[in-house]
């Protein structure tokens, strides 16, 4: 690996980019357009949300209430906790997206007509939030085995209260903007490197390059590096616009937001490189990019909640970088989680990058046949 | 610039070189020997296997069969070691059209490993030598064909390669630029570089020190231009008649005439076989009732080309 040759490639890419007005416009234009378009929410119903349950009352009535909630099919219990605090921690780590807490004085509250239970919801996901509203409609009367004991009064807003963590006002932009930090690079980064190699092949530059001492790794890494910077510029545009137009908060560390974004950018750039070593023409590279882009949008949890998808779709989604990134960015930006707490997805993105880069370097031959 | 370690100055040696693409045999058992410090020409029509051969020689294509030794290295096994010692000018302009003249040169200097301390001086030197002084900031894509070829050559020699491959370097260039370009090639050969140039232009082929004629992937003749044309002495004639088209019809029908080409009002005839060709031609024309003046003409490379390609094809046609 020669740093001089690597730098020569980086410099060449940057110079070419600076003369390519369409691509330059794309770097800033796509984030702005998408942000404005997706600012409008997309809402759906769903079932099978991962839920954590705390039943501190543990009476016949409280157990019946929990069973009724499970019977709606909206939630499926994956964890039991002893205290509401444990539930909150699970929410932050992203282990559950909904928490049901029944306080010790459940029976007392029911008779007093106060709110008898609480649903805690990860408000960083819009769809989960609307599911919680649906869940809170479970009639408290039918949950009571003793039908003759009437409620003294019904508290305003229903007997079950909903607490939305991380997005108390239930604004959809709060979910959409962090998602876009992932969606936009998924589209543009793959495209940038997707055409990078094949373009030089089409223009005839490649025959010249492979006849020089330039190595595959120098060429591949040299092509990725400039676009990491471009990707981070895009991230900044989305963050700034999100802040300015939709007042989206960054609850976690800004550095970690950029680190996570960097991981996703790398994953997509290397995927693009691999596409580029396979594609026969720029047009074909573009088609292949869309082949990856559509599942990313649909399966990653950006548009539709991950929990609501069939198992096969979930397995597929686990392969996509965007799925892991969404977990990271929602965790960091909205729930204030740290990268360390979300290490599984960090590892997944890093592994994806490594596999793609290796495959691209191995697939690229300094031969014409 | 050292003469390679191959003893008495053979830069390229190939034996039984063959390349198959599926059922198509693009290069068919070519034996080749290119002496150092020579301008060696590959003459052949489009599709004759010139580019494929060059690509195999510089290690870009893997031969289906045969052995290659370039600058003492076994190709394609040691192709990577060869890269820094050769320059390759592709048939199609392959530099970056959206980089300037200077940027292209700087890029190639870095990629070819010209020492960092020397690179700026070398770039300046080439800009001067190749007359880019007033347009070093111009984008390569906006230049004329001749200028692009000059830039491509400057980039190909930036690391002072011992061996230079040029694949139809002047096919898109006007005659004036072509002359200048060849001046540069001879300067390089004088300085000790070996050049392998492919072409389908006869006037270019005539300039080469030595020449190999390729047809349909087969090497049909090789030698110096004088050797090649000398072998045809007594076989070429010029026929001047009042109706050259009619005379052509008569001559083409003769069994030992290999080719008849009209040049202005005259016909250039290439005849095969022994005996008194001159009177044979005269008799044939007189027999068809035409007044014509027939006299011998010195053979040129085009005649060589027609002769070797026709001779090789004849047995096949008879068999078919």
Is position B3 within any domain?
no
Residue B54 has pLDDT above 90, yes or no: yes
For A17, the closest chain B residue by CA position comes to: B98
Residues B103-126 pLDDT 10s:
999 999 999 999 999 999 999 999
Is position B108 within any domain?
yes
Note down the domain range covering B235.
230-319
Cα(A238)–Cα(A215) distance, integer angstroms = 36
Q: Does residue A77 have a cis bond before it (omega within 30 degrees)?
A: no
CATH number of the domain that residue B235 is part of: 3.30.70.100
Q: Please tell me which of the candidates A2, A205, A369 has its beta carbon nearest to residue B94.
A: A205
For B58, the closest chain A residue by CA position comes to: A211
Is position B220 within any domain?
yes
- Distances from the Cα of A24 to the Cα of A16, A28, A241, angstroms: 11, 7, 18
Examine the fold and report which residue of B193, B224, B255 is the final residue of a domain before the chain moves on. Answer: B224
Same domain as B241, residue B291: yes
Q: Which positions in chain B touch A12 (Cβ < 8 Å)?
A: 96, 99, 103, 107
Residue contact B116–A16, C-beta within 8 A: no
Q: Does the CB of B81 have a partner CB in chain A at under 8 Å? A: no
Which pLDDT belongs to residue A58?
87
CATH number of the domain that residue B69 is part of: 3.40.50.300
Same domain as B251, residue B189: no
Residue B7 has pLDDT above 70, yes or no: no
Which pLDDT belongs to residue A148?
41
Cα(A360)–Cα(A272) distance, integer angstroms = 9
Examine the fold and report which residue of B224, B259, B276 is the final residue of a domain before the chain moves on. Answer: B224
Tell me which of A233-242, B31-40, B283-292 is least confident: B283-292
Which pLDDT belongs to residue B4?
42
The count of CB pairs under 8 A between chains A and B is 79
Same domain as B154, residue B43: yes
Interface predicted TM-score (ipTM): 0.82
Same domain as B151, residue B113: yes
Residues B297-313 pLDDT 10s:
888 888 888 888 776 44
- Sorted by sequence, the CB contacts under 8 Å of residue A290 that are 6+ apart come out as none
Which pLDDT belongs to residue A278?
87
Which pLDDT belongs to residue A231?
92
Same domain as B209, residue B126: yes
pLDDT band at residue B174 using 50, 70 and 90 as cut-offs:
confident
For B21, the closest chain A residue by CA position comes to: A369
> What mean pLDDT, rounded, does chain B reach?
87
The full set of domain ranges for chain A reads 3-41+172-363, 49-165
Q: Which residues of chain A have pLDDT under 70?
A: 39-47, 126, 139-158, 168-173
Same domain as B132, residue B195: yes
Percent of chain B with pLDDT over 90: 52
Same domain as B205, residue B171: yes
Residue B317 has pLDDT above 50, yes or no: no
Same domain as B258, residue B114: no
Q: Does the CB of A16 have a partner CB in chain B at under 8 Å? A: yes
Cα(B104)–Cα(B69) distance, integer angstroms = 31
Residue A226 host element (H or E): helix A216-246
Residues A250-293 pLDDT 10s:
888 999 999 999 999 999 999 999 999 888 888 888 888 888 88
Q: Does the CB of B1 have a partner CB in chain A at under 8 Å? A: no
Same domain as B20, residue B93: yes
Cα(B318)–Cα(B320) distance, integer angstroms = 5
Give chain B as a DSSP string: -PPPSSSS-EEEEEEEEEEEETTEEEEEEEEEEEETT-EEEEE--TTSSHHHHHHHHTTSS--SEEEEEETTEEETTTHHHHHTTEEEE-SS--S-TTSBHHHHHHHHHHHTT--TTTHHHHHHHHHHHTT-TT-TTSBGGGS-HHHHHHHHHHHHTTT--SEEEEESTTTTS-HHHHHHHHHHHHHHHHTT-EEEEEES-HHHHHHSSEEEEEETTEEEEEE-HHHHHHTTTTSEEEEEES-HHHHHHHHHTSTTEEEEEEETTEEEEEE-SSS-HHHHHHHHHHHTT--EEEEE----HHHHHHHHHHHHHHHHHHH-
Q: Which CATH architecture has domain A49-165?
A: 3-Layer(aba) Sandwich (3.40)
Residue contact A12–B112, C-beta within 8 A: no
Residue contact A15–B103, C-beta within 8 A: yes
Same domain as B66, residue B188: yes
Q: Please tell me which of the candidates B61, B80, B96 has its beta carbon nearest to residue A12.
A: B96
Cα(B18)–Cα(B5) distance, integer angstroms = 26
Q: Please tell me which of the candidates A8, A206, A366 has its beta carbon nearest to residue B110.
A: A8
Residue of higher predicted confidence among B232 and A104: A104
Same domain as B216, residue B274: no
Cα(A331)–Cα(A326) distance, integer angstroms = 8
Same domain as B71, residue B16: yes
Q: Does the CB of B55 have a partner CB in chain A at under 8 Å? A: yes
Token couple for A286: 């573009």
Number of domains present in the structure of chain B:
2
Examine the fold and report which residue of B205, B224, B243 is the final residue of a domain before the chain moves on. Answer: B224
Residue contact B96–A2, C-beta within 8 A: no
């Amino acid at each position: 690996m020669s740093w001089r040759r690597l730098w020569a490639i980086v410099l060449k890419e940057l110079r070419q980019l600076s003369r390519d007005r369409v691509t330059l416009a794309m770097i800033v234009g796509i984030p702005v357009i998408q942000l404005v378009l997706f600012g409008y929410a997309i809402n759906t119903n769903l079932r099978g949300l991962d839920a954590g349950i705390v039943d501190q009352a543990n009476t016949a009535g409280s157990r019946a209430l929990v069973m009724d909630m499970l019977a709606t099919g909206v939630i499926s219990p994956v964890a039991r906790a002893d205290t509401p605090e444990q539930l909150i921690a699970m929410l932050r780590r992203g282990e559950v997206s909904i928490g049901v807490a029944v306080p010790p004085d459940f029976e007392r509250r029911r008779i007093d007509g106060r709110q008898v239970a609480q649903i805690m919801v990860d408000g960083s996901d819009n769809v989960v939030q609307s599911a919680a509203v649906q869940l809170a409609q479970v009639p408290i009367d039918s949950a009571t085995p003793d039908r003759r004991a009437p409620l003294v009064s019904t508290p305003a807003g229903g007997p079950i209260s909903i607490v939305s963590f991380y997005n108390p006002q239930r604004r959809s932009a709060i979910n959409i903007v962090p998602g876009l930090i992932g969606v936009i690079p998924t589209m543009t980064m793959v495209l940038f490197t997707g055409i990078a190699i094949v373009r030089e092949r089409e223009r005839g530059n490649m025959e010249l390059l492979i006849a020089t001492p330039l190595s595959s790794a120098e060429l591949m890494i040299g092509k990725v590096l400039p676009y990491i910077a471009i990707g981070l510029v895009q991230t900044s545009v989305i963050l700034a616009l999100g802040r300015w137009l939709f007042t989206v908060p960054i609850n976690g560390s800004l550095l970690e937001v950029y680190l996570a974004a960097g991981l996703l950018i790398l994953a997509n750039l290397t995927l693009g490189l691999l596409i580029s070593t396979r594609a026969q023409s720029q047009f074909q590279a573009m088609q292949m990019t869309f082949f990856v882009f559509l599942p990313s949008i649909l399966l990653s949890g950006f548009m539709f909640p991950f929990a609501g998808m069939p198992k096969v779709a979930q397995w597929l989604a686990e392969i996509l970088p965007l799925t892991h990134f969404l977990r990271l960015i929602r965790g960091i930006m909205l729930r204030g989680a740290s990268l360390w707490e979300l290490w599984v997805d960090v590892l997944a993105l890093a592994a994806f990058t490594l596999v793609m880069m290796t495959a691209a370097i191995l697939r690229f031959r300094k031969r014409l046949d | 610039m050292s003469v390679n370690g191959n003893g008495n100055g053979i830069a390229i040696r190939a034996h039984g070189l063959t390349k198959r693409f599926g059922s198509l045999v693009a290069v068919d058992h070519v034996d080749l020997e290119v002496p150092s410090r020579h301008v060696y020409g590959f003459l052949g029509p489009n599709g004759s296997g010139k580019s494929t051969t060059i690509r195999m020689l510089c290690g870009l294509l893997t031969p289906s069969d045969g052995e290659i030794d370039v600058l003492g290295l076994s190709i394609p096994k040691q192709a990577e070691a060869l890269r820094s010692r050769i320059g390759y000018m592709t048939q199609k302009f392959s530099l970056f059209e959206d980089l300037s003249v200077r940027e292209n040169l700087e890029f190639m200097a870095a990629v070819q490993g010209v020492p960092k301390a020397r690179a700026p001086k070398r770039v300046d030197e080439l800009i001067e030598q190749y007359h880019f002084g007033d347009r070093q900031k111009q984008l390569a894509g906006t230049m004329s064909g001749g200028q692009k070829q000059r830039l491509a050559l400057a980039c190909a020699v930036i690391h002072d390669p011992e061996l230079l491959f040029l694949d139809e370097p002047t096919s898109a260039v006007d005659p004036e630029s072509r002359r200048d370009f060849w001046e540069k090639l001879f300067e390089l050969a004088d300085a000790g570089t070996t050049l392998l140039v492919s072409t389908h232009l006869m006037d270019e082929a005539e300039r080469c020190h030595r020449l190999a004629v390729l047809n349909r992937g087969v090497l049909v003749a090789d030698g110096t231009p004088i050797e090649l044309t000398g072998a045809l002495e007594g076989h070429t004639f010029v026929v001047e008649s009042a109706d050259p088209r009619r005379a052509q019809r008569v001559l083409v029908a003769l069994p030992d005439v290999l080719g008849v080409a009209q040049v202005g009002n005259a016909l250039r005839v290439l005849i095969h076989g022994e005996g008194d060709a001159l009177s044979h031609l005269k008799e044939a024309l007189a027999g068809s009732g035409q007044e014509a003046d027939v006299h011998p003409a010195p053979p040129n490379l085009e005649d060589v080309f027609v002769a070797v390609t026709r001779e090789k094809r004849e047995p096949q046609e008879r068999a078919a």
